[in-house]
Amino acid sequence: MIARYTLPEMGAVWTDENKYQTWLTVELAVCRALAERGVIPKRAVAVIARKAGFKVKRIEAIETRVNHDVIAFLTAVAEQVGPESKYIHFGLTSSDVLDTALALQLKEAARIIDAKVVGTLALIKRLARKHKRTPIIGRTHGVFAEPTSLGLKFAVWYTELSRGRTRFLAAAEDIAVGKISGAVGNFANLDPVIEEKVCRRLGLKPAAVSTQIVQRDRHAAFLTALALLASSLEKFATEIRNLQRSEIGELQEPFAAGQKGSSAMPHKRNPITAERVAGLARVMRGNALAAMENIALWHERDITHSSVERVIIPDSCILIDYVLQKFIGILDKLVVNEKRMLENIYTSGGLVFSQRLLLKLAGPAGSREAAYALVQENAMKAHGGNGNFRDLVKADRRITALLSAKDIDDCFTLDYYLRNVPAIFKRVFK
């Protein structure tokens, strides 16, 4: 991923230096397990552990000749270790190291990601509680519907992101497996106990069964879980973007001192961070699709997945880390314009209270259909610019003959639409 979207902690997980160091960690764990089983000398392991090292530039130079990154790595390490290097990679195939090391990198990436998901949830929860009784117009089809609570919007976000976290944690657990089972997964040159010892030492679970590789449905599930997290963030960011429209003006992402919104128009305050969150979610969904394409490989393995994963796995981890960080920044200083929210509710002269009036009239009018006709007739007049809905209703003798002035006024109160929000919050924030 380009440096623009790479944050230091996550970026460090995917550097070449860390990749090769993780490979070495796996190789050393195997050496120690082999020594414990008496397969290789313990004194050799002591020498290997003391001398093993590498230089990235040297690995790259060797790879230009041998055209194989693992062999280049092993050759560079052997140059540091000397004769005892013959015990490194004993009985292994490249993917024993690659897939087990990748699991370690993904486990670390998952820790970083989850910390930011938890932080995002905490901010959403804070906003939900703060605005539990803040009225805002609800919209369906992009059109005014009925008043609701801004806190309820945030509660919806909270539950959705919580589900995303559950899926993500399950995928992260599923990906935290290693395999030390050899060229076709049948342990021809190693005892399965070695795999168990290595995985235990590394904090991984051994794959129940493998081919030359850990099966790629695990990786596809992980990247899909990341794409779903990003898609939820895109949904939340899109809501903020919509509510920041000039004609709506209810929410606004932070605009820092000295920030500029347009090279041409000095007045502009654009939701650029929310737009970036939305845009990068598209990349992550594409990466998830590529991960699914990697599941079907020939027989015990081919390498069509390898080149793809060099791009999509680091990039998806880096991107979700970045968009979570940016969304946290949006939430932390989100501008909430309660005055504009209230104005928007009443901007149509109370049209948004039509259902409440309909329900009040249904009994006295004799049928729901008759009540609906009375309310809609006045609503359409208001829509056409022929008066204020509330005033039109109060001037309609057919309605005033059925409802008292107090009954009509009660239909236009906001408390009615907020009265059950606390009950919903009890279910959400247990």
Known catalytic residues are 141, 262
Per DSSP, the residues of 126-167 read HHHHHTTT-EEEEEETTEEEEEEEHHHHHHHHHHHHHHHHHH
Q: 336 by DSSP, 3-state: which?
A: strand
Please give the Cα distance from 77 to 80 (Å, whole number). 5
Residue 373 buriedness (CB in 10 A; 0-12 / 13-18 / 19+): middle
Please give the Cα distance from 415 to 254 (Å, whole number). 30
**How far lies 177's CA from each of 16, 106, 208, 315, in Å?**
21, 10, 9, 21
Please give the Cα distance from 380 to 384 (Å, whole number). 6
Chain-centroid distance, C-alpha 27:
33
Q: Which residues face 61 on adjacent strands?
A: none
Contact 101, 142 (CB under 8 A): no
Start-to-end CA distance of the chain, whole Å, equals: 39
Please give the Cα distance from 33 to 290 (Å, whole number). 36
Cβ neighbors of 148 (< 8 A, separation 6 or more) are 135, 136, 137, 138, 417
Please give the Cα distance from 211 to 186 (Å, whole number). 7
Cβ neighbors of 355 (< 8 A, separation 6 or more) are 146
**How far lies 115's CA from each of 120, 218, 328, in Å?**
9, 21, 12
Q: 279 by DSSP, 3-state: which?
A: helix
Q: 260 by DSSP, 3-state: which?
A: coil
Cβ neighbors of 78 (< 8 A, separation 6 or more) are 85, 88
Query: What sign has the CA pseudo-torsion 236, 239, 241, 244?
Result: negative
Q: Which residues face 139 on adjacent strands?
A: 144
Contact 329, 240 (CB under 8 A): no
